[in-house]
C-alpha cells in the first residue's frame, strides 16, 4: 500500500541575554517513521483483538502521526468505531480511507454497510455497487448488495435482518439460536437464518436439528453455496462420503472460488482414498489462494496420508 509521509518540524528560539539556540530533535528518516507507525498499528490490533476498541483507536491515531497517509489504518479505525456503536465516526474513518486510496474496495464496502445499519439503503446500495465496480469479484459486496436490494424490496423484513445481525455478534450459542429462531418466526423463508441456525445446532451437538435446518435452507435455495457446503460437512461427519462429495461439488459449482468447500472436498476424497482427486482439488484451491498455508500443508502431507491409507 502506498504510504504518504508529511513532516513538519519547528525550531524554537529563546532570547535570554545573548541568543540561545535550542537543539532540534533528530530528524527521523521515512523508514524510522514507518517503524514507529507500524508499532502503534500492531498495538492497536492487539487491543482490538482483546475487545478494547477505544484503546485500539488511540493506538491507530498515534500511528497516523507517523504514517498519515495509511488508508488501511483509517479502515481499521472505522471497524473499531462500528464496534463501539459510533456509526458517524465509522463513516468518517472509512471515507478518509477511500480518499487516500480510491481503489480500496473493502473500505468502500464497509462505508456502505454502515449506511445500511443507519437505514440509509440508497446510500448503502450506492457504495456496494461502487465497491463492485472497483472489484467485480468481491464476494462480500455482492452479498451486501443482494441483501440491501432484498430489504428495499421488502423481501426480508428489516426486523428479521436485525435479529440475524445481532446473532452474529453474540458469544452464546443459546442466544444465537434464539435470535435465529425469532428471525425465522418473522420470515420463514430466510435462508441465511436457517443455515446459521443449523450451524449453531451442530456446534451445540443437536445433529438432527442441524440437519433439518440445513435441508430446509437447501429446499428454499438449492444453489446457495454455503448451505451446500454445510450439508456436505454434516454428511461427511456421519460417514456419508459419496453424498458429501456431491454437495461439495455443488457448492463449488455455484461459487467457483469457494476455497473452504474445496479444502473440505479434498478431505472427503482422502477418506475415500481418492488421493489423486484430493490433490487436484487442493491444487486448484491454491491457485485461487496461493497463501493458504493449511491447504499447502495438506498437499505436503498427502504422500504420508497415502502411504498410511494404502493408496
Domain boundaries of the chain, sorted by first residue: 1-23+30-101
Residue with cell 429462531: 181
Half-sphere exposure of 190 (CA within 13 A, CB side): 29
Reading the block at residue 111, the C-alpha cell is 462505508
Residues near 146 by beta carbon (within 8 Å), at least 6 away in sequence? none
Q: What is the pLDDT of residues 106-118, one digit of tens each?
A: 999 999 999 988 8
Reading the block at residue 131, the C-alpha cell is 465497491
Sign of CA dihedral 214, 218, 221, 223: positive
What is the distance between the alpha carbons of residues 212 and 194, in angstroms, rounded to a whole number? Answer: 9
**Quick one: what percent of the chain has pLDDT higher than 90?**
58
- Spacing of C-alpha 242 from chain mean position: 31
Average pLDDT, the chain: 85
What is the distance between the alpha carbons of residues 33 and 5, in angstroms, rounded to a whole number? Answer: 8
What is the distance between the alpha carbons of residues 115 and 229, in angstroms, rounded to a whole number? Answer: 31
Q: What is the pTM of this model?
A: 0.63
Where residue 151 falls among pLDDT bands split at 50, 70, 90? Answer: confident
Q: What is the pLDDT of residues 10-54, one digit of tens each?
A: 332 333 334 455 444 556 666 777 788 888 899 999 999 888 999
What is the distance between the alpha carbons of residues 157 and 80, in angstroms, rounded to a whole number? Answer: 28
Reading the block at residue 147, the C-alpha cell is 441483501
Please answer whether residues 195 and 223 qualify as being in contact, where contact means their C-beta atoms are separated by less than 8 angstroms: no
Burial (Cβ within 10 Å: 0-12, 13-18, ≥19) of residue 10: exposed
Sign of CA dihedral 39, 45, 51, 57: positive
| CATH fit for domain 1-23+30-101, picks 2.40.110.10, 1.25.40.10, 3.40.50.300, 3.50.90.10 | 1.25.40.10
What is the distance between the alpha carbons of residues 224 and 218, in angstroms, rounded to a whole number? Answer: 7
Amino acid at each position: 500500500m502506498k504510504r504518504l509521509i508529511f513532516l513538519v518540524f519547528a525550531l524554537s528560539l529563546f532570547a535570554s541575554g545573548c541568543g540561545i539556540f535550542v537543539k532540534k530533535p533528530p530528524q527521523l528518516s521515512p523508514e524510522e517513521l514507518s517503524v514507529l507507525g507500524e508499532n502503534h498499528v500492531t498495538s492497536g490490533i492487539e487491543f482490538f483483538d482483546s475487545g478494547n476498541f477505544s484503546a485500539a483507536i488511540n493506538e491507530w491515531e498515534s500511528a497516523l502521526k507517523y504514517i498519515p497517509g495509511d488508508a488501511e489504518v483509517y479502515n481499521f479505525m472505522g471497524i473499531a468505531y462500528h464496534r463501539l456503536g459510533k456509526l458517524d465516526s465509522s463513516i468518517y474513518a472509512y471515507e478518509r480511507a477511500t480518499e487516500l486510496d480510491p481503489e480500496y474496495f473493502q473500505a468502500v464496502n464497509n462505508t456502505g454497510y454502515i449506511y445500511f445499519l443507519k437505514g440509509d439503503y440508497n446510500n448503502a446500495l450506492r457504495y456496494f455497487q461502487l465497491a463492485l465496480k472497483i472489484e467485480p469479484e468481491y464476494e462480500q459486496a455482492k452479498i451486501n448488495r443482494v441483501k440491501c436490494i432484498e430489504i428495499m424490496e421488502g423481501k426480508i423484513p428489516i426486523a428479521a435482518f436485525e435479529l440475524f445481525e445481532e446473532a452474529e455478534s453474540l458469544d452464546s450459542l443459546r442466544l444465537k439460536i434464539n435470535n435465529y429462531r425469532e428471525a425465522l418466526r418473522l420470515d420463514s423463508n430466510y435462508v441465511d437464518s436457517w443455515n446459521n441456525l443449523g450451524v449453531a445446532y451442530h456446534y451445540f451437538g443437536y445433529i438432527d436439528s442441524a440437519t433439518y435446518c440445513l435441508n430446509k435452507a437447501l429446499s428454499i435455495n438449492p444453489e446457495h453455496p454455503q448451505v451446500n457446503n454445510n450439508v456436505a460437512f454434516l454428511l461427511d461427519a456421519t460417514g456419508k462420503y459419496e453424498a458429501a462429495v456431491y454437495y461439495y461439488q455443488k457448492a463449488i459449482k455455484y461459487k467457483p472460488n469457494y476455497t473452504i468447500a474445496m479444502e473440505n472436498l479434498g478431505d472427503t476424497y482422502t477418506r475415500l482414498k481418492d488421493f489423486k482427486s484430493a490433490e487436484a482439488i487442493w491444487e486448484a484451491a491454491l491457485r485461487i489462494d496461493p497463501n493458504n498455508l493449511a491447504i499447502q500443508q495438506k498437499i505436503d502431507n498427502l504422500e504420508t496420508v497415502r502411504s498410511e491409507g494404502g493408496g
